[in-house]
Amino acid sequence: MPIRPYAAARRHLSITDKLYEVNWGLVLLITIIAGVGIAMQYSVAGGHWDPWASKQLVRFIIGFVMMIVAAMVDIRVWMNIAYPFYAVSLVLLLGVEAMGMAHLGAQRWISLGPLELQPSEPMKIAIILALAKFLHGQSVEDIAKPGRLLIPLIMIGMPAVLVAMQPNLGTTIIIALDGCALLFLAGLSWWWIVPTLTAMAAAVPVAWRYVLHDYQKARVMTFLNPESDALGAGWNITQAKIAVGSGGAAGKGFLEGTQSRLNFLPEKQTDFIWTNFAEEFGFVGCTAMLILFAVVLGYGVQIAMSARSQFGRLVAMGVSLNFFFYIMINGLMVTGLIPVVGIPMPLISYGGTAMLAVMFGFGLLLSVHVHRQVEIPRHSTGII
């Protein structure tokens, strides 16, 4: 079959062509959201750049360069290195178990010279790339075969177990959700999904007794009745609700959030940064920010639908869903709708590895858009 001129013209784009093809509307939205995050870090520090805002700005600049560079790389190159990237991320997770550093009772970080890395963050992207590559070569009928289905389940299960051992329940949930969502998008039948969900529900009592740590059980009990120990285990969520509620319709104004200024908010620069935003900008500000998030997700779905390759479609949807799960879990967590599980608000919460992982994910999404006309045969392993 002859190659269509439009597709052929985009098989070998120059750097200038690729820069022109970048979805700059999406890049602008990402920059605006990150700018709000930097402003919030400035606010919770009492109107000072140190200790958080200046570092967040530097990390965003590094992440921005990483995102644009990733966008320039041919999508088939990312397909080629998907398995090695997954393997390296898995080794780093094993390294956390062997020589990881503990913080606030959790062993989640590893030291690589001057860098402190949280391997569970790049693993969220690695699992998307690896599963997208594996599922790219499978038909809908193949995915439903138990022997074939076992492989992606092992790929999801290994990092999920390692992250759960840190312990890091929130990231474990996101890795599992990312993986299961890709299986569903690749065509896995509900005949597999419904029994799996039923089995997971049946396993809850076992997990409660043998898997969850005492502090995680306390978080669940606090979620069910935070007022029972408002000055102890329920302090975090109680103060978060006060901050959200005190913002009212229009908020108190930038730099006027009293809950963070008076240090009532716990982890105000990381997990609970959204509550400070709600206090300062109110319902109107939160709605506007959620609309920005929704537009970013809309761009992601549009890019996935425009991709000619199954690998590109799955990567684009995987990155978009990963971003959505971040937002959903953090938003529900800080408003008391689910137990606190320690998930940051993407691009807004303070954090190095999380910021760079999210920006790299967006770089992959942009790469899918730039190379959307590239067609990869179902049984291809990358560049052909």
Mean pLDDT (the chain) is: 84
Residues belonging to the chain: 384
Name, in order, each residue with C-beta under 8 angstroms of 1's C-beta and a sequence gap of 6 or more.
Answer: none
Evaluate whether 124 touches 178 at the Cβ level (below 8 Å). Answer: yes
Instruction: Quick: pLDDT tens for 217-253.
Output: 666 766 666 665 555 566 777 788 888 888 888 889 8
Low-confidence ranges of the chain (pLDDT < 50): 1-10, 382-384
Q: Please give the Cα distance from 205 to 278 (Å, whole number).
A: 35
Q: Please give the Cα distance from 244 to 45 (Å, whole number).
A: 18
Q: What are the DSSP E strand ranges found in the chain?
A: 101-103, 106-112, 115-117
**Token reading at 272:** 């609970």
Name, in order, each residue with C-beta under 8 angstroms of 286's C-beta and a sequence gap of 6 or more.
Answer: 247, 274, 277, 278
Name, in order, each residue with C-beta under 8 angstroms of 284's C-beta and a sequence gap of 6 or more.
Answer: 249, 250, 251
Relative orientation angle of helices 120-136 and 352-370, to the nearest 10 degrees: 30
**Token reading at 31:** 């920059």
